[in-house]
Amino acid sequence: MEPILVIDIGRQALMTLLAISGPMLVAGLAVGLAVGIFQAVTQIHEMTLTFIPKILAIVGVLLFMLPWMTIKFINFTVALFNQIPTLIR
């Protein structure tokens, strides 16, 4: 197997990983920023105030995006399995 093929498969895997995890990370970042601004303005520094909204936002985005994420992951896996006969040569 050529090293270029291995690098290309790794690149495809990383791009799929970023596409799948990206929406949850962006939601956590946005909620964390909003809670941070709220805490700075009100001077309320409760530790649980940062975690609960982030968890709820990430779970909400996960439930909303789960069908798309599953299809994306299945398409990547099927494409990888279809490449196996050409990679063995």
Per-residue pLDDT of the chain (89 residues; tens, 9 = 90+): 788 888 999 999 999 999 999 999 999 999 999 999 998 898 888 878 888 999 999 999 999 999 999 999 999 999 999 988 887 77
Query: For residues 27 and 58, is the Cβ–Cβ distance under 8 A?
Result: yes
Q: What is the pTM of this model?
A: 0.79
Query: For residues 24 and 61, is the Cβ–Cβ distance under 8 A?
Result: yes
CA dihedral 80, 82, 87, 88 (to 10 degrees): 120
DSSP 47: S
Does residue 61 form part of some domain? yes
Does residue 38 form part of some domain? yes
Q: How many domains does the chain have?
A: 1
Q: Which domain holds residue 64?
A: 11-79
